[in-house]
Structure 1
Amino acid sequence: MSEGAGAGAGQLAGRLLVAAPALVDPSFARSVVLVLDHDNGGALGVVLNRPTDVPVSDALPVWAPHMSAPSVVFRGGPVALDSALALALLATVPAAEDPEPLGWRQVVGALGLVDLDAPPEILAEQTAAMRVFAGYAGWGSGQLEGELAADAWLVVDSLPGDAFSASPTALWRSVLRRQTDRRAMLSTMPEDPSKN
């Protein structure tokens, strides 16, 4: 059983789901998913390593100047591809007694979701990094837990910069490589196991 397969409600929010090498579903093969919400009703996250060719300036021109490189829209998952959500890393972690900045909702630490309907100016000066995603990954009640029990995903801790990697297509290998156990060896597996 993968680490995290028995995780309780909410315990996966802010953590990464790294696709096991055997997961071949085209939407998730070699993907790294940041879990945004997790409770008894299911889970929601975004795939961090699927940049598209669509510039943010084409999709959301008012937000484009505030995006981290590469400044393209990322494919966040197979659900609701016609909707967008954004993640932002604040320059400083908000203190527990302070209200959250306008237009931002905490996921974990200084990482949170951005209200794209809000004017960028109210949040832009407080952010260190930002990225936009089209669509998301979603799981119904018990679905993710079933996939974890089937060893489809590896659950690992996220780092603040994972969601804003300048080399997003290399994220799967780099996240696995930094693990301090047998999971690090998975980073060396070729995409086609027959070429091993």
Structure 2
Amino acid sequence: MDNLVNHFLIAMPGMGDPNFGETVTLICEHSEGGALGIVINRPIGMTLGEVLDQLDLQSEDSTLCDMPVMQGGPVQQDRGFVLHSRGGDWDSTLAISETLQITTSQDILAALAEGRGPQQVLVALGYAGWGAGQLEQEMAANAWLSVTADPALVFETPLEERWQRAAGLLGISLEQLSSYAGHA
């Protein structure tokens, strides 16, 4: 299977796992050893301002403080991840593409609070993880659609539209798909 870094996984209708029903997951790492992704359309009912408060960081930027935090996945939900546009020099950053990076160190949150962070961000707690061969098996079982990631969908598209719009990148309307997968 091709490497899925910088791809969206779009949950098929009828996804049996409640952690991933109607989700869009950005794959950040993918190797023979497994894969790591961040769900980009499932808010957890917490704002970035609340996260900053917990870290004793203050920001005057109300737009930033009101930004919803995503449930990045069911694994290590106390661990923070920041998806962001390229730029900056943070302690623990991985390039996903020419335009997207993911950072796990707190220095990026301090920079955001001080107004010197990246222009575009999505903050998530937790991640989606797959063991060796697991994602490939799920793809073969038609659990997911995949498409090259579009940063505009991560940073600009309203949360409630991301699942449908991600499928739209493939020219697919999810309402027209059966919730039962078949194999021809």
| TMscore range, shorter length | 0.7 to 0.9
Structure 1 length-normalised TM:
0.76
Matching residue within 12, 27, 32 for 1:20: 12
Looking at structure 2, the residues matched to 190 and 70 of structure 1 have their Cα atoms a distance apart, in angstroms, of 36
Task: Give the counterpart of 1:101 among 69, 88, 91.
Answer: 88
Tell me, which stretches of 5 or more residues in structure 1 are unaligned? 1-5, 91-99, 192-196
User: What are the Cα deviations for residues 40-66 of structure 1, in whole angstroms up to 9, with x where unaligned?
Assistant: 100000101001221111112438649
Partner Cα distance (1:82, 1:159) in 2: 27
Normalised to the residue count of structure 2, the TM-score between the two structures is 0.81
Query: Please, which of 61, 70, 76 is the counterpart of residue 80 of structure 1?
Result: 76
Name the SS of the counterpart of 2:137 in structure 1. Answer: helix
**What count of residue pairs does the alignment treat as equivalent?**
171
Post-superposition shift, 1:162?
Answer: 1.9
State which of 103, 120, 123 in structure 2 corresponds to 1:114: 103
The answer for unaligned runs of 5 or more in structure 2 is 180-184
SS in 2 for 1:60: helix
Give 3-state SS (helix, strand or coil) of 1:108's partner.
coil
Distance 1:166 1:68 in 2: 16
Distance in 2 separating the partners of 1:63 and 1:138: 32
Residue 44 to residue 124, structure 1, CA distance change in 2 (3 Å): farther
Partner Cα separation in structure 2 for residue 114 and residue 63 of structure 1: 20
Cα 1:68–1:160, aligned 2, differ >3 Å: closer, same or farther?
farther
For 2:117 and 2:50, locate their aligned partners in 1 and report how far apart those are by CA, in whole Å.
24
**Post-superposition shift, 1:23?**
1.0
Contact 1:40 1:141 in 2 (8 A): yes
Q: C-alpha offsets along residues 147-168 of structure 1, whole Å, 9 cap, x if unaligned?
A: 0010100011111122224411
Cα contact 2:39–2:73 (8 A) shared by 1: yes
* Identical residues among aligned pairs (%): 29
After superposition, the Cα gap between the structure-2 partners of 1:37 and 1:51, relative to the gap in structure 1 and judged at 3 Å, is same
User: Does the aligned pair in 2 maintain the 1:56–1:73 contact within 8 Å?
Assistant: yes
The CA distance in 2 between the partners of 1:52 and 1:162, in whole Å, is 19
Equivalent residue for 1:95? none
Distance in 2 (alpha carbons) for counterparts of 1:50 and 1:132: 11
